[in-house]
């Protein structure tokens, strides 16, 4: 992130930005900080929380995933991240704006901030200067395994945020109960979609167009709250349950929560249902791919009726030594009775998903380039097909396969990674990977 700046200078800048954050909350103790961390689902949960709380409060959040040691302080303070990270003058200006933010009257009541962990110790480092009112932990699954090595190490990392927060809110469904011993914060609640969670959504009916009707169950609401949730896949209901739970903790009324939940929209690339050519439907889950959320997406894909199913699967990044086993496990989920084509994008998907699916009797085609994968899917796609598109960013970019399949090209704006900077990165990659 900081190529071109000396390490000592980076540390000075980081320290000054962190000091500004500390000073900001000292000057404005009425502002509540909510941090969101976890292996998957951070961005969806962050945005859902902000949407619900916005029914009553002024909320600040960064729309992107500025969740690193240098970007978190700026995001909390609402200061733009430098366009040129090698520019000393831009960082000096960022420090100046951060200090000015401390002195000005606050323009928000709540800050919702995502925290990322690439290496062991990253989350604990945020705890050196952040004192959140609430810490939300979304999941413990395989991530950055080349550094963490084991799921136990991931759990230790992510749950740290619950311990340095005043209140902790933990996803009971996606965090194994055996890790409860890692939580020292006794001011703890759980959320989810199963009976194991204290705050949960109990579904009574589901319609692809109208959404999921059900009731939010909570310890402090004996009769619950009737509401409709718009989410494709049960795993995408959980961020909404987290948001509703946070709303209750912040004193929102049932009416506020129902209204806020109704306004929650899927994050681009996170289980969005898009209209495709020839009456087809596209499940766009191209934002990121890890073993647990890939399995959840595939299960949702299987649950939907369609005369033809096509799966476009990109490599899962950052799995380290477990990459082969996890990719093969995905490939083994498919069979000729559940899918008509398995199309892979990327090296690990080709090496491991493709042969595993082929061994189960599936038709399989592999590509290095997502655009070519989309063109092939277009060539074999039949009327009213259902297409699952799952992928990640680095050297995968399966969102670009979707463009070829869309009925309405105006929906391109609903795809992930469409900024000019991202498009330039992708075009360069595709030019180098034409076959």
Say if 421 falls within a structural domain: yes
Helical axes 238-249 vs 254-262, angle rounded to 10°:
150
Structure tokens of 375? 């063109």
| Residue 434 pLDDT level (bands cut at 50, 70, 90) | low
Do the strands 211-218 and 221-229 form a parallel or antiparallel pair, or are they unpaired? antiparallel
State pLDDT tens for residues 216-268.
999 988 889 999 999 988 889 999 999 999 999 999 999 999 999 999 988 89
Q: Tell which residue, 115, 137, 133, 30, has the closest CA to residue 70.
A: 115
**Computed from CA positions of residues 265, 270, 272, 274, in that sequence, does the dihedral angle turn out positive or negative?**
positive
Is 231 in the same domain as 315?
Answer: no
- Give the containing element (helix H, strand E) for 329: helix 323-331
Query: How many angstroms separate the Cα of 47 from the Cα of each of 130, 232, 260, 296?
Result: 20, 16, 11, 21
Per-residue pLDDT at 320 exceeds 90: no
3 state SS of 40:
coil
Per-residue pLDDT at 433 exceeds 80: no
Q: Tell which residue, 49, 19, 71, has the closest CA to residue 167.
A: 49
Q: Tell which residue, 367, 11, 38, 7, has the closest CA to residue 175.
A: 38
Q: Tell which residue, 39, 2, 38, has the closest CA to residue 17.
A: 2
Is 133 in the same domain as 229?
Answer: yes
Percent of the chain exceeding pLDDT 70 equals 98
Q: Tell which residue, 424, 413, 168, has the closest CA to residue 284.
A: 413
Determine the structural domain holding residue 246 and report its residue range: 31-58+108-262
Q: Say what the pLDDT of residue 85 is.
A: 82
Is 124 in the same domain as 237?
Answer: yes
Which CATH number fits the domain that encloses residue 164?
A: 3.40.1190.10
Per-residue pLDDT at 160 exceeds 70: yes
Q: Tell which residue, 333, 290, 326, has the closest CA to residue 311.
A: 333
Is 242 in the same domain as 355?
Answer: no
Is 37 in the same domain as 183?
Answer: yes
| Residue 323 pLDDT level (bands cut at 50, 70, 90) | very high
Q: Tell which of 262, 294, 327 closes a domain.
A: 262
3 state SS of 245:
helix
Q: What average pLDDT score do residues 323-328 get?
A: 96
Q: Say what the pLDDT of residue 430 is.
A: 85
Contact of 362 with 334, CB cutoff 8 Å = yes
Per-residue pLDDT at 153 exceeds 50: yes
Gap between the Cα atoms of 229 and 191, Å rounded: 15
Q: Tell which residue, 366, 374, 365, 354, has the closest CA to residue 415.
A: 374
3 state SS of 259:
helix
Which CATH number fits the domain that encloses residue 354?
A: 3.90.190.20
Is 289 in the same domain as 351?
Answer: yes
Is 48 in the same domain as 144?
Answer: yes
Gap between the Cα atoms of 5 and 18, Å rounded: 18
Say if 267 falls within a structural domain: no
Say if 296 falls within a structural domain: yes
Q: Say what the pLDDT of residue 80 is.
A: 94
Is 40 in the same domain as 161?
Answer: yes
Q: Say what the pLDDT of residue 207 is.
A: 87
Gap between the Cα atoms of 214 and 231, Å rounded: 13
Per-residue pLDDT at 2 exceeds 90: no
The pLDDT mean for the chain works out to 94
Say if 63 falls within a structural domain: no
Is 180 in the same domain as 282?
Answer: no
Query: How many angstroms separate the Cα of 71 from the Cα of each of 62, 66, 287, 416?
Result: 10, 5, 20, 20
Q: Say what the pLDDT of residue 281 is.
A: 97
Overall domain count for the chain? 2
Gap between the Cα atoms of 370 and 395, Å rounded: 9
Helical axes 88-103 vs 7-27, angle rounded to 10°:
10
Say if 99 falls within a structural domain: no
Q: Tell which residue, 53, 54, 52, has the closest CA to residue 260.
A: 52
Contact of 60 with 110, CB cutoff 8 Å = yes
Q: Tell which of 262, 285, 307 closes a domain.
A: 262
Per-residue pLDDT at 215 exceeds 90: yes
Give the pTM.
0.90
**Computed from CA positions of residues 362, 366, 369, 374, in that sequence, does the dihedral angle turn out positive or negative?**
negative
Is 404 in the same domain as 321?
Answer: yes
| Residue 432 pLDDT level (bands cut at 50, 70, 90) | confident
Q: Tell which residue, 283, 275, 307, 274, has the closest CA to residue 233.
A: 283
Largest CA distance in the chain: 66
Q: What average pLDDT score do residues 51-66 get?
A: 93
Say if 316 falls within a structural domain: yes
Q: Say what the pLDDT of residue 300 is.
A: 94
Contact of 128 with 15, CB cutoff 8 Å = no
DSSP letter string, 192-224: ESSTTSSEEEEEEEEETTTEEEEEEEETTEEEE
Q: Say what the pLDDT of residue 1 is.
A: 46
3 state SS of 167:
strand
Q: Tell which of 262, 281, 311 closes a domain.
A: 262
Gap between the Cα atoms of 66 and 245, Å rounded: 24
Is 339 in the same domain as 291?
Answer: yes
Per-residue pLDDT at 4 exceeds 60: no
Is 318 in the same domain as 424?
Answer: yes
Q: Say what the pLDDT of residue 7 is.
A: 77
Contact of 182 with 151, CB cutoff 8 Å = no
State pLDDT tens for residues 161-207.
999 999 999 999 999 999 999 999 999 999 999 999 999 999 999 98
Say if 140 falls within a structural domain: yes
State pLDDT tens for residues 90-147.
999 999 999 999 999 999 999 999 999 989 999 999 999 999 999 999 999 887 788 8
Q: Say what the pLDDT of residue 392 is.
A: 87
Say if 81 falls within a structural domain: no
């Amino acid at each position: 992130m900081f190529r071109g700046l000396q390490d000592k200078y980076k540390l000075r800048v980081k320290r000054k930005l962190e000091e500004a954050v500390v000073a900001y909350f000292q000057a404005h103790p009425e502002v509540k900080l909510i941090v969101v961390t976890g292996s998957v689902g951070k961005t969806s949960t962050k945005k859902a929380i902000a949407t619900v709380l916005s029914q009553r409060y002024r909320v600040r959040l960064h729309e992107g995933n500025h969740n690193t040691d240098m970007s978190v302080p700026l995001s909390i303070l609402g200061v733009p991240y430098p366009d040129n990270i090698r520019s000393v003058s831009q960082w000096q200006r960022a420090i100046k704006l951060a200090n000015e933010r401390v002195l000005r009257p606050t323009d928000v009541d709540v800050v919702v901030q995502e925290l990322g962990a690439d290496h062991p110790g990253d989350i604990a480092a945020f705890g050196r200067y952040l004192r959140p009112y609430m810490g939300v932990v979304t999941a413990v699954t395989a991530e950055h395994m080349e550094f963490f090595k084991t799921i136990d190490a991931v759990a230790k990392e992510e749950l740290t945020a619950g311990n340095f927060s005043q209140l902790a809110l933990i996803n009971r469904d996606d965090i194994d109960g055996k890790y409860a011993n890692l939580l020292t914060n006794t001011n703890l609640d759980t959320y989810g979609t199963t009976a194991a969670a204290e705050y949960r959504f109990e579904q009574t009916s589901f319609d692809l167009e109208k959404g999921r009707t059900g009731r939010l169950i909570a310890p402090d609401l004996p009769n619950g709250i009737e509401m409709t949730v718009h989410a494709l896949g049960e795993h995408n209901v959980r961020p909404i349950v987290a948001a509703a739970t946070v709303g209750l903790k912040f004193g929102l009324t049932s009416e506020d929560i129902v209204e806020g939940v109704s306004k929650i929209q899927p994050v681009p690339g996170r289980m969005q249902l898009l209209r495709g050519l020839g009456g087809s439907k596209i499940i766009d889950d191209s934002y990121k791919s890890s073993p647990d959320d890939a399995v959840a997406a595939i299960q949702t894909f299987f649950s939907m009726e369609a005369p033809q199913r096509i799966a476009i699967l990109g490599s899962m990044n950052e799995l380290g030594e477990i990459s082969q086993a996890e990719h093969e496990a995905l490939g083994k989920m498919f069979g000729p009775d559940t899918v008509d084509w398995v199309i892979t994008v990327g090296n690990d998907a080709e090496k491991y998903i493709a042969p595993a699916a082929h061994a189960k009797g599936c038709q399989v085609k592999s590509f290095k380039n997502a655009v070519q994968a989309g063109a092939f899917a277009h060539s074999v796609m039949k009327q009213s097909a259902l297409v699952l598109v799952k992928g990640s960013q680095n050297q995968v970019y399966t969102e670009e396969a979707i463009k070829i399949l869309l009925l309405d090209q105006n929906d391109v704006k609903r795809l992930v990674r469409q900024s000019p900077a991202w498009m330039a990165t992708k075009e360069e990659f595709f030019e180098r990977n034409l076959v």
